[in-house]
Amino acid sequence: MAHGVTVVCDDLARTVNPQPRTGPVRLAVLGDSTAVGLGDPLPGGGWRGVGPLVARALGVEPAGYLNCSFTGARMRCVRTEQLPAAVAHRPDAALVIVGMNDTLRSDFDPAGIAADLDHVLTTLRTAGAVPVPVRYHDHGRVFRLPGSLHRALRGRIEQLNAAIDGVVARHGVPCVDLGQVPGAYELTAWSVDRLHPSELGHRLLAREFADLLRAEGFGVPAPVSLACSGGAQVGAAGHVGWLVVKGIPWLWRRGRDLVPHAASIMLRSATRRAAGWAGWTGAGRPAADASPVRPGAEQHGVAAQAELPAAASL
């Protein structure tokens, strides 16, 4: 596309391939525990993660950096609790990393998520910032969830991404596609809990953000390196301790929200199979004829039911 061409979106105009930006850059980070930096611990305590890595790549001074995120945040939290502080910071760019927590809750609402994200992007763009949200990968592949839970989570992530895609398309803003990040499904990209990126995972994510912001005219004087350095080296004992104290309780709380949804998927599937069975046997065929055609049907039903306790054990 030619330099300086403008794409008109539903609400605001965005310049494609804008002139390079000059002067100090201000950066805000909004979102959940990934935005906080969980998975990339610092030697002195606390977390580093994607935000400081992007700030360093863009040459952001300490006074120009603000991280509004907190663990457990959902899209509505970003809108109501984090956005005001981010706008007051007057950022030139804003990373918006949120949505996965919404998929794990019983009140999951794609339409509400889309409305909240639309408000967040509109507000940030009106304030003069370039917001960069994310769309999500199939995290069940990373965590290796049992079948019914994996299908439940994947279905919700697909709905989440559809909501995000629609808002991103209306605004014409850049968006990181986590499922397309090279190495996203490698275990080395994930911390021991497989819920948060490792240091390498945060670096991969930061590189994607920096590349998209470079395309928006931001200078990247210190490109993100994938060589891990500066983070704390956590041993096996530390990993196990974190899982026992933090990871497993978190999984249990979130799993209890998602398991009923997984159970409903299993029930709907069983209902469809039963309806199909009734229609087949009611079409003038004796039920005895059906037995050889559907070998293992009863065993399959038992196996499907057995997945639920395994998921609940999370």
- The answer on 84 and 26 residing in a single domain is yes
Q: φ, ψ for residue 90 (rounded to 5)?
A: 55, 60
Shared domain check, 190 and 246: no
Establish if 102 belongs to a structural domain: yes
Task: Please indicate, yes or no, whether residues 55 and 126 belong to a single structural domain of this protein.
Answer: yes
Q: How many residues does the chain have?
A: 314
Residues 6 or more apart whose Cβ sits within 8 Å of residue 144: 194
Domain coverage including residue 82: 6-215
Q: Is 218 helix (H, G, I), strand (E, B) or coil?
A: coil
Say yes or no: 196 and 253 in one domain.
no
User: What digits encode the pLDDT tens for the residues 170-228?
Assistant: 999 999 999 999 998 898 898 877 778 999 999 999 999 999 999 999 999 999 999 98
Whether residues 43 and 183 fall in one domain: yes
237: exposed, middle or buried (C-beta count within 10 Å: 0-12, 13-18, 19+)?
exposed
pLDDT recorded at residue 61 = 97
pLDDT tens track for 32-41:
999 999 988 8
Q: State pTM to two decimals.
A: 0.74
| Total number of domains constituting the chain | 2
Query: Is residue 224, in this structure, part of any structural domain at all?
Result: no
Q: In this structure, is residue 229 part of a structural domain? A: no
Lay out the sheet containing 65-67: strands in order across: 65-67, 27-31, 93-97, 130-135, 176-177
Tell me the C-alpha to C-alpha distance, in Å, between residue 283 and each of 102, 262, 280, 297: 44, 32, 5, 19
87 near 123, Cβ under 8 Å?
Answer: yes
Same domain, 17 and 166: yes
DSSP letter string, 165-193: HHHHHHHT---EEGGGSTTTTSGGGB-TT
In a domain, residue 126? The reply is yes
